[in-house]
Structure 1
Amino acid sequence: MARTSDRDLFLKRLAKLSGADGGFVTNEALRAELKWEKPKYRAIHSSLRQEELIVVKRGRGGLVALAGNKKTERMKIFVSYSHVDKDLKDRLVKHLRPLEHENLVEVWVDHQIKAGDDWDKEIAKKLGEADIVLTLVSIDFINSKYCYDIELEKALEREADGESQVIPVILRSCLWTKSPLGRLKALPTDGKAVTTWSDIDEALTVVASGVRDAAIALLEHG
């Protein structure tokens, strides 16, 4: 008799726990049912998610279900930046597009506000919905009353409440470590400013990879 593969076993046990309605179950419950260590569970989970055989969403340490007619919840990303840094922002957004193609994230920036919309209200709404807030840090970001005193303050409040994750992306060198962002892990590597890299595309690729890791961690583990 052929041995059941780990992938098939994962799907069978998930179907068992989901019941007839195919509902979501917690990662903790499924891992306990499988009696697997975390590294093995995460590897199989990630593979099946990428193949769209399972769908995942946030909550209670991460929830999972068989795909069926369900869709994976995409992590909502809010990009906070100074308009002085618009060109760098645009380049970063391009590097985040592959994550959207994976159905992993949904990126929002303020140029998506439509004519006639209430600017402040729409920004507050999108910021309040965000799973991840990318703060594109430069001296102009820090000196911007709107970015620093309004968007950043709200983002940090939501992070403190466990509602979102704030990721500083250091665009240009400045004393950001002396700000409230200084306690957070920044991108690119070691918070080295994007504009100090010899290849800016390489720096932004590192940023996109870090954002991808954060989005997957939120999806798979709550």
Structure 2
Amino acid sequence: MTPPPERDQLFISYSHVDREWVVRLQTMIRPLVRSHGLRLWDDSQIPPGAKWRQEIEMALAAAKVALLLVSSDFLASEFVTNSELPQLLAAAEEEGLRILWVPVRPSLVRRTPISAYQALGDPGRPLARMDPVEQEEALVEIALAIEMALELRQDSPPAAAKTRGDSAGRPRQAAAPRSGSSVLPGADRQAVATVRSGAVQPEAAQAEAAEPSAPTVPLQRFVTSTCLLRQEGGRWSMERRPLQVEGYREDLGEGVALNMVTIPAGSFLMGSPMDESERVEHEGPQHEVTLGSFFMAQTPITQSQWRAVAGWQKLERDLKPDPSKFKGANRPVEQVSWLDALEFCRRLNQRTGQRYGLPSEAQWEYACRAGSTTPFHFGATLTPELANYDGNHVYGNGPKGTYRKQTSDVASFPANGWGLHDLHGNVWEWCEDHWHDRYNFAPGDDQPWLIPAAADDELRLLRGGSWYDYPRYCRSAFRNHYRPGVAVGNVGFRVVCLPQGPSLNP
């Protein structure tokens, strides 16, 4: 029997109407072709007289990464819909093929299986709607995503990475492999390399979780409300109740303050169970994580809070005072990159003397769940009465509702059991961690999971979903990622105040 071809090339699928973008992309990735021997294929390589369908099927069988340039013409193609896509989707599920898709022109891609995969770029702002400079920047991001997906970077000299903790850079403690777990390709090899490199100190496993440092202002109580969804006789009802939580208020000046809520120490199962509806592989395997207590912002950072800190002394980069697409003092700030959020935290640290930073992914999910084990902290499903997301779509047998098509004021909806608002929807929230495809060999504490000596543009974590997303993307366990320099209209952040010890972002 002839063995299947090795999957080692980039397959580009597109409509001939969009051929211009293929040419521009090929120009952008030419350095990868020269330096790494990148093999790429599109249908312009079919020899004259060859059986084109057979040539395409052979190329599909050799693809390690498929790049889809999505437009209305692309989706209208019978061959794409009936031949290419089914093969690609099957290979993604069964053989580990990576699917990347780029919104080139407006389309109904959200009504297709492609939408289950994260887009390279904002689907609400496709390439054709960008100005020429933005298009070139977007093509750079696409090329970098291709480089990572094809694992071309493994032989490249790594750039120094900034790590959380002391000057030696202590990443999150890696847990021992669990019985039945397997080493998976891609980013999981990076996780194994992290363990074997010696960067993880064995004695860290013995470290006890620290209590949060006492803030310079007295603790106080915040009054809010929480809600649980319950199903009764085929109908969903909301059980609301008042809630008081402890925390402190950081004065940012000019009548603006930042409410920080106490998150208790504890342990939880991170990730989603195998039987959770619409789960994806990178949410597992579930693993136990133990965390110390810390403080977390009660809401995503608002535009008024951002504007206050943006006016403070610059440390490493300028901050636009008004970057958001959807304006409103009490709306979450968006169109801010991970790098912008980092600068915000550093300015807070310098001004207040506290230990502010972005949450680790473990801290974020632990705080979001607030002791719950259901897909959402509200319960088994979600309703637009409790969160801002695309209410035209449902999760499980949940109800449909309003699709607001924009951000909403923070704390417009009930809090979770620990007094935190807007953890499902409104804006995605940056985390400190680098992206890993799965949790094999994931750490068991609250430190961020970082890749030693990672490149400066290594993917960073996002959590929570947004106003633009289907409810499945807003689940407590769902994970997303972007380059640290990306700033789009559905991504913001919230901060944590760290335990006593070195600053999160020194």
Fold shared, TM-score > 0.5 on shorter chain:
yes
* Structure-2 change in CA distance of 1:197 and 1:143 (3 Å): same
Instruction: Report the CA distance between 1:141 and its aligned residue.
Output: 0.3
Query: Do residues 213 (structure 1) and 213 (structure 2) align?
Result: no
Of all paired residues, the percent bearing the same amino acid is 31
Alignment of 1:132-211 (within 5 A): 132-188=65-121, 192-198=125-131, 199=133, 200-211=135-146
SS of aligned partner of 2:26? helix
Instruction: Return the structure number with greater relative CO, CA threshold 8 A, min gap 6.
Output: 1
Partner Cα separation in structure 1 for residue 118 and residue 37 of structure 2 = 21
Is the contact between residue 103 and residue 122 of structure 2 (CA under 8 Å) also seen in structure 1? no
Instruction: Report the CA distance between 1:214 and its aligned residue.
Output: 1.4
* Structure-2 change in CA distance of 1:79 and 1:114 (3 Å): same
- Deviations along 1:39-81, whole A, 9 cap, x unmatched? xxxxxxxxxxxxxxxxxxxxxxxxxxxxxxxxxx993001011
Instruction: Report the CA distance between 1:163 and its aligned residue.
Output: 3.7
**Equivalence for 1:33:** none
Instruction: Report the CA distance between 1:162 and its aligned residue.
Output: 2.4
* Structure-2 change in CA distance of 1:163 and 1:215 (3 Å): same
Greater shift, 183-192 or 111-120, is seen at 183-192
Select the residue among 23, 35, 49 that pairs with 1:90. Answer: 23
SS of aligned partner of 2:69? strand
- Deviations along 1:68-102, whole A, 9 cap, x unmatched? xxxxx993001011111111121112112122122
Partner Cα separation in structure 2 for residue 213 and residue 106 of structure 1 = 14
Highest Rg: 1 or 2? Answer: 2
* Structure-2 change in CA distance of 1:173 and 1:190 (3 Å): closer
- Deviations along 1:126-171, whole A, 9 cap, x unmatched? 1011000111100000001112221111111111102411111111
Select the residue among 76, 81, 87 that pairs with 2:14. Answer: 81
Q: State the one-letter code of the partner of 1:203.
A: A
Larger relative strand fraction: 2
Partner Cα separation in structure 2 for residue 195 and residue 134 of structure 1 = 17
Partner Cα separation in structure 2 for residue 134 and residue 74 of structure 1 = 14
* Structure-2 change in CA distance of 1:142 and 1:133 (3 Å): same
Partner Cα separation in structure 1 for residue 124 and residue 117 of structure 2 = 10
Query: Do residues 131 (structure 1) and 68 (structure 2) align?
Result: no
Is the contact between residue 167 and residue 186 of structure 1 (CA under 8 Å) also seen in structure 2? yes
Instruction: Report the CA distance between 1:182 and its aligned residue.
Output: 0.6
Partner Cα separation in structure 1 for residue 76 and residue 90 of structure 2 = 20
Query: Do residues 116 (structure 1) and 49 (structure 2) align?
Result: yes
Q: TM-score, normalised by structure 2?
A: 0.28
SS of aligned partner of 2:39? strand
- Deviations along 1:169-197, whole A, 9 cap, x unmatched? 11112121221011101113567411122
Q: State the one-letter code of the partner of 1:140.
A: D
**Equivalence for 1:56:** none
Partner Cα separation in structure 1 for residue 9 and residue 80 of structure 2 = 19
Unaligned runs of 5+ in 2: 1-5, 153-184, 190-506
- Deviations along 1:84-122, whole A, 9 cap, x unmatched? 111112111211212212215211111111112111101
What's the RMSD between the two structures over aligned residues?
2.2
Is the contact between residue 134 and residue 166 of structure 1 (CA under 8 Å) also seen in structure 2? yes
* Structure-2 change in CA distance of 1:192 and 1:210 (3 Å): farther
SS of aligned partner of 2:145? helix
Partner Cα separation in structure 1 for residue 71 and residue 123 of structure 2 = 16
Q: State the one-letter code of the partner of 2:113.
A: P
* Structure-2 change in CA distance of 1:190 and 1:83 (3 Å): closer
Unaligned runs of 5+ in 1: 1-72
Count of residues in Structure 1 that have an aligned counterpart in Structure 2: 150
Partner Cα separation in structure 2 for residue 166 and residue 123 of structure 1 = 17
- Moved runs in structure 1, 4+ residues, more than 4 A? 217-222
